[in-house]
Amino acid sequence: MVLDINEIMKLLPHRYPFLLVDRIDLLEPGVRIVGTKNVTVNEPFFQGHFPGHPIMPGVLIIEAMAQVGGVFAIISDKIGPDKVTYFVGIDNARFRKPVLPGDVLRMELEIINCRRGLYCFKGRAFVGETLVTEADLKATFADRNDS
């Protein structure tokens, strides 16, 4: 299953400048997902991180992986628009190499388990074949409170 940006925007509530997934390249419901972020010099965070030496902040790489995981859970378990995603944990995060403008960030997440609505993923991010970031991520869903 491949999803373009328009299909991703139907699933995730995030929008520019915080939507950090451009495409879902592979989805095996209940098993794994692969998503892509094209990193451009026009990203707003590069203005301050760092002037003259732009590097994508590690927390945003983690957020991009979490968004890919959200797509996985929404599709795998048919979670509707009446729910909101809560990112509830990050463990074992490691930042191996910087992500720079012009890089294509490929995020691969595999489901470790899902118990009582708590999704646990092993996430890895690559530029080409180089591992740049890895982390264990946890997320859950709750009723949307649109009051």
Residues 6+ apart with CB under 8 A from 32: 26, 72, 108, 109, 110, 111
* pLDDT level of residue 105 (50, 70, 90 thresholds): very high
Residue 41 has pLDDT above 60, yes or no: yes
What CATH superfamily is the domain 5-143? Hotdog Thioesterase (3.10.129.10)
Give the predicted TM-score (pTM) of the model: 0.94
Catalytic residue among 14, 32, 49, 138: 49
- To the query of whether residue 53 is one of the catalytic residues in this protein, the response is no
The 10s digit of each residue's pLDDT in 3-26 is: 999 999 999 999 999 999 999 999
59 vs 1, more confident = 59
Question: Taking the domains of the chain in order of start, what are their residue ranges?
Answer: 5-143
Instruction: Answer whether 88's CB lies under 8 Å from 121's CB.
Output: no
- What b-and-e string marks burial along 3-22, b requiring 16 or more CB atoms within 10 Å of the CB? beeeebeebbebeeeebbbb
